[in-house]
Amino acid sequence: MSTFLQPIEHELGPLLARIAGGDRPAFGRLYDLTSNRLFAVVRRVLRRPELAEEALQEAFVRVWQKANLYDPAQARPMAWLAAIARNQAIDLRRRSSERIGEELDENSAGGDGQSAVLPEADLALELKRLRDCLSRLPENRQDMVLLAYYQGWSREELAAQFSRPVTTVKTLLRRSLITLRECLDGRT
Amino acid sequence: MAEPKDLEGLAAEYVLGTLDRGEREDVEQAIPADSELAGLVAGWERRLIPLALALEPVTAPPHLRDKVMAAISGSAAAPDNVIAIERRANRWRGAAVASWALAAALAGVILFRPPEVLEGSRYVAVLQSEGPGPAFIASVDLASGTISVRPVSATTPSGKSYELWALGAGRDKPQSLGVIAANFRIPTETLGKVDSAALGDTLFAVSLEPEGGSPTGQPTGPVMFTGKLVATE
């Protein structure tokens, strides 16, 4: 699988440049290359299929509108696209009535990172580093971070799940993120 | 760290996804004008994105592709009131342009940048009506000699066409630049003599015309949008 990811990444930058100029075939190609990876992202956040589809559609419309703002110096194309998709999905989740009650059945934060593809080399390295840093957090805080990142859980939802006050969850999250940053940025 | 000033924590939680709806909207609205916040958010996106990229791909339902392609042709796109224009090479100036564009869009007309910044080769005009409604982005690339006009969220009423006009800058009457279609491009020769200063003074307008464009060579329908150019690069 890793062999097909790399060429895609190289094709995405030029595609985004063409899309910024209003090139619809380029946009269609971008959709074909990336929709399965972006759908994976939004489907984690939105379990209801119709909401996941709505989020993916919104994400691509946003890509069409914002392609001129893509800055290769800031992010790789796939990272930029995935961030847009995640943000659309989380916004939609907040707007919708979707709540943890209907999805607790299949949630296992620990299992989330394991259903991964074999990523391209530098991503694999970044991912390993991130996982290493995450693994230094106490276990329930790892779960909080992963549930939030993958499934878009709010502080309130985390508070309910972990039986802690919302303010405590906020404190724990921010502390965890600072710890994570220090680890990732090399000040361990 | 003091609670209200924890911009880093706010950016991190925004990216993590734990903010409530109101807080998320606050952050999203603040980003274009707040370069510090934008930088922090970008940093957190970069740190955490490997988790999202590691997910196993899931094939989207096949019918979705048609819906997405239809949405970008304008038929189903949600009206987007706020259009940010950003310089790629120069962040702070990008933010300045975005707020210009936003303020001007709210006023109904895009103001032009002072002439000295019209040195670059790319210019952009946001053609936007007041309130929620369709919008176009017109961009001029002097290097490649093209003007392209992109509907952002415009739906053309059936039996009608949008036509683009240039006004002012020495023209005694509106000059038709053509009917706006998908991926609409106009050679800059069409604009006549193009020098940077004159381009900055040109007012662009979009009118609603019978299908195929104005039969008289002058705008006959209502003028939907007007805008002037701002330099982007």
| For residue A118, pLDDT beyond 50 | no
- Residue range A6-46, pLDDT digits in tens: 557 788 999 999 998 888 999 999 999 999 999 999 999 99
Across the interface, whether the CB atoms of A58 and B78 are under 8 A apart is answered yes
Specify the pLDDT at position B153: 54
Domain A119-188 indexed as CATH 1.10.10.10: yes
Specify the pLDDT at position B82: 26
| Closest Cα in chain A to B42 | A74
Specify the pLDDT at position A121: 64
Across the interface, whether the CB atoms of B71 and A60 are under 8 A apart is answered yes
CA distance B202 to B175: 11
Chain A hits for B86, Cβ within 8 Å = 68-69
Distance, in angstroms, between B172 CA and closest chain A CA? 31
Across the interface, whether the CB atoms of B182 and A22 are under 8 A apart is answered yes
| Closest Cα in chain B to A41 | B52
Total Cβ atoms within 10 A of residue B140: 25
Across the interface, whether the CB atoms of A86 and B17 are under 8 A apart is answered yes
| For residue B148, pLDDT beyond 70 | no
Specify the pLDDT at position A157: 92
Across the interface, whether the CB atoms of B16 and A69 are under 8 A apart is answered no
| For residue B133, pLDDT beyond 50 | no
Computed on alpha carbons and rounded to an integer, the radius of gyration of chain A in Å comes to: 18
Query: Could you tell me what percent of chain A has a pLDDT over 90?
Result: 60
- Residue range B29-87, pLDDT digits in tens: 998 888 899 999 999 999 999 999 888 899 999 999 999 998 888 533 333 322 322 22
Across all residues in chain B, what is the average pLDDT?
A: 67
* pLDDT, mean of residues B165-188: 69
Query: Could you tell me what percent of chain B has a pLDDT over 90?
Result: 21
Q: Where in chain A is the domain with CATH 1.10.10.10?
A: 119-188
Q: Where in chain A is the domain with CATH 1.10.1740.10?
A: 1-101+108-117
Total Cβ atoms within 10 A of residue B116: 10
| For residue B134, pLDDT beyond 90 | no
Specify the pLDDT at position A177: 96
Chain A hits for B13, Cβ within 8 Å = 170, 173-174, 177
| For residue B193, pLDDT beyond 60 | no
| Closest Cα in chain B to A24 | B183
Q: How many residues does chain A have?
A: 188
Of the given ranges (A2-6, A33-37, B172-176), which has the lowest mean pLDDT? Answer: A2-6
Say which residue, A60 or B185, is predicted with more confidence. A60
Top residue of A4, A35, A166 to mutate, by most chain B CBs within 10 Å, is: A35
* Type and span of the H or E element at B44: helix B35-53
Task: Identify the three-state secondary structure at position B108.
Answer: coil
Across the interface, whether the CB atoms of A130 and B18 are under 8 A apart is answered no
Of B18, B80, B148, which has the smallest distance from its Cβ to A65's Cβ? B80
| For residue B194, pLDDT beyond 80 | no
Across the interface, whether the CB atoms of A94 and B77 are under 8 A apart is answered no
For residue B228, what pLDDT band results from cuts at 50, 70 and 90? low
Specify the pLDDT at position B152: 59
Specify the pLDDT at position B104: 39
Of A65, A116, A169, which has the smallest distance from its Cβ to B152's Cβ? A65
B69 Cβ under 8 Å from any chain A Cβ: yes
Specify the pLDDT at position A32: 95
| For residue A47, pLDDT beyond 60 | yes
Task: Identify the three-state secondary structure at position B127.
Answer: strand
Specify the pLDDT at position B113: 31
| For residue B171, pLDDT beyond 80 | no
Total Cβ atoms within 10 A of residue B119: 9
- Residue range B91-130, pLDDT digits in tens: 333 433 444 344 333 333 333 333 333 344 566 666 655 4
Distance, in angstroms, between B164 CA and closest chain A CA? 17
For residue A82, what pLDDT band results from cuts at 50, 70 and 90? very high
| For residue B186, pLDDT beyond 90 | no
Total Cβ atoms within 10 A of residue B76: 14
Specify the pLDDT at position B74: 55
Across all residues in chain A, what is the average pLDDT?
A: 83
Say which residue, A58 or A71, is predicted with more confidence. A58
- Assigned CATH for A1-101+108-117: 1.10.1740.10
Specify the pLDDT at position A40: 94
CA distance B213 to B220: 9
For residue A117, what pLDDT band results from cuts at 50, 70 and 90? very low
Query: Could you tell me what percent of chain B has a pLDDT over 70?
Result: 48
A78 close to B53: Cβ distance less than 8 angstroms: yes
| Closest Cα in chain B to A66 | B84
Which 8-state DSSP code applies to residue B130? S
Distance, in angstroms, between B24 CA and closest chain A CA? 8
Cβ-proximal residues to A112 (8 Å cutoff; 6+ apart), any chain: A44, A146, A150
Residues 147-166 of B with CB under 8 A from A: 148, 150, 152-153
Q: pTM of the predicted model, to two decimals?
A: 0.59
